[in-house]
């Protein structure tokens, strides 16, 4: 009886029959990760295989060694706080790779993401879902990525924003940050609300909403944060940032700008690469929408907005704000929207 899948040559080798007539097996030089197994799949196979054959002690020790080099798993806790879900919708619409590939496949060879908690996408609801978030934090201390979408209400200890209950009492979004942020490997602030407060923190801001960075300072939590702003965040910025962290670890200070964003996406202004730049150089300005010319007089915030929208564009490269004859509103910048108001007038 064969207990191996012959489609996986090189991983296991037969060393001849034993006294019981079964094939002894030894672990070859190739690692499990070269064949795309997840750690979970590998361990599940190993347990099933152990019931089918009598393995030697030396084989079992090699089995354990193989498990150690299996695919690395990264649990994600994606928490939506004071948000409109726009950033989730944007990221879900990623095309290359698709959201199915991001969640179910290895985003990079040897690196598997597991979206353990996302209140909009998961099937579970109520206590069952929030217990998943807490359990992930306990079991993967120091190894999970905490993703925050939306600003955090802080007025009166965050009573204006709650997620779930515990012992019959609501758990505030601020309390979730207290519980999950300290033990996270890193925090990704997805969208301008999460990064800087955004629309949720706009005047008069009765809830005292803040971006996650300011909340961490308030709570004296040192977990590193990478901001991925935008209203909404571009899916490429999110996927690229996650891939960057998995490949090379957390960015060093030189790779981030003063607003905590990766310079590879937010290193140059929209104005610097705008399709209307020639109009500005020629002194041709639009006085009303639909006219050819630079949109500066109609409130374009491109000169002081940093993002690669002119190159990357949106909806899989179909279009972007200025190409659709709308001015840039500066949605990736700290202070948006208050600092940029009125949006359709020149500052």
Give the pairing type, strands 145-149 and 106-108. Answer: unpaired
Give the pairing type, strands 186-190 and 23-27. Answer: unpaired
Instruction: Please pick, among 193, 233, 234, 340, the residue that the annotation labels catalytic.
Output: 193
Active site residue 274: yes
Instruction: Please pick, among 87, 140, 233, 234, the residue that the annotation labels catalytic.
Output: 87
Residue partners of 306: CB distance under 8 A and separation at least 6: 257, 259, 261, 266, 267, 268, 269, 270, 332, 333
Helix and strand element counts for the chain (H, E): 12, 10
Active site residue 233: no
DSSP 281-305: HHT-B-SSTTSSSB-GGGT--GGG-
The length of the chain is 347
Instruction: Please pick, among 140, 233, 234, 294, the residue that the annotation labels catalytic.
Output: 294
- Sign of the torsion formed by the C-alpha atoms of 153, 154, 158 and 164: positive
Measure the CA–CA gap between 277 and 291, rounded to whole angstroms. 15
C-alpha angle 148-152-155 in degrees, rounded to nearest 5:
170
What's the token pair of residue 302? Answer: 């491109």
Q: State how far the alpha carbon of 308 is from the alpha carbons of 156, 159, 314, 330, in Å.
A: 38, 37, 10, 12
Instruction: Please pick, among 118, 140, 233, 300, the residue that the annotation labels catalytic.
Output: 300
Active site residue 271: yes
Instruction: Please pick, among 84, 111, 233, 234, the residue that the annotation labels catalytic.
Output: 84
Measure the CA–CA gap between 232 and 184, rounded to whole angstroms. 24
Residue partners of 38: CB distance under 8 A and separation at least 6: 70, 71, 73, 112
Is residue 217 a contact partner of residue 177, using CB atoms and an 8 Å limit? no
Instruction: Please pick, among 231, 233, 234, 340, the residue that the annotation labels catalytic.
Output: 231
Catalytic residues: 84, 87, 193, 231, 271, 274, 294, 300, 309, 321, 328, 331
């Amino acid at each position: 009886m064969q207990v191996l899948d012959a489609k996986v040559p090189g991983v296991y080798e037969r060393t001849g029959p034993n006294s019981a007539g079964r094939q002894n097996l030894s672990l070859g030089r190739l690692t499990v990760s070269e064949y795309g197994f997840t750690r979970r799949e590998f361990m599940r196979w190993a347990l099933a295989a152990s019931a089918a054959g009598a393995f030697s002690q030396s084989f079992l020790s090699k089995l354990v060694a193989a498990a150690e080099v299996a695919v690395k798993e990264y649990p994600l806790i994606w928490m939506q706080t004071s948000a409109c879900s726009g950033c989730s919708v944007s990221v879900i619409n990623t095309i290359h790779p698709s959201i199915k590939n991001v969640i179910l496949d290895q985003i990079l060879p040897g690196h598997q993401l597991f979206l353990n908690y996302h209140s909009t996408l998961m099937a579970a609801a109520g206590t069952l879902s929030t217990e998943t978030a807490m359990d992930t934090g306990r079991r993967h201390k120091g190894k999970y990525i905490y993703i925050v979408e939306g600003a955090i209400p802080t007025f009166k200890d965050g009573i204006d924003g709650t997620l779930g209950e515990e012992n019959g009492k609501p758990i505030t979004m601020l309390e979730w940050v207290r519980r999950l942020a300290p033990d996270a490997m890193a925090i990704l602030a997805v969208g301008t609300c999460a990064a800087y407060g955004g629309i949720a923190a706009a005047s008069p801001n009765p809830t005292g909403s803040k971006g996650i960075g300011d909340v961490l300072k308030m709570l004296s939590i040192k977990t590193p944060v990478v901001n991925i702003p935008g209203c909404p965040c571009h899916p490429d910025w999110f996927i690229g940032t996650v891939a960057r962290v998995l490949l090379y670890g957390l960015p060093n200070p030189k790779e981030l700008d003063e607003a905590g964003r990766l310079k590879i996406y937010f290193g140059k202004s929209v104005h610097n690469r705008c399709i209307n730049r020639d109009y500005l150089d020629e002194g041709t300005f639009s006085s009303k929408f639909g006219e050819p010319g630079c949109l500066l007089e109609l409130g374009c915030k491109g000169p002081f907005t940093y993002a690669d929208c002119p190159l990357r564009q949106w909806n899989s490269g179909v279009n972007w704000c200025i190409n659709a004859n709308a001015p840039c509103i500066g949605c990736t910048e700290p202070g948006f929207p208050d600092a940029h108001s009125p949006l359709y007038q020149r500052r």
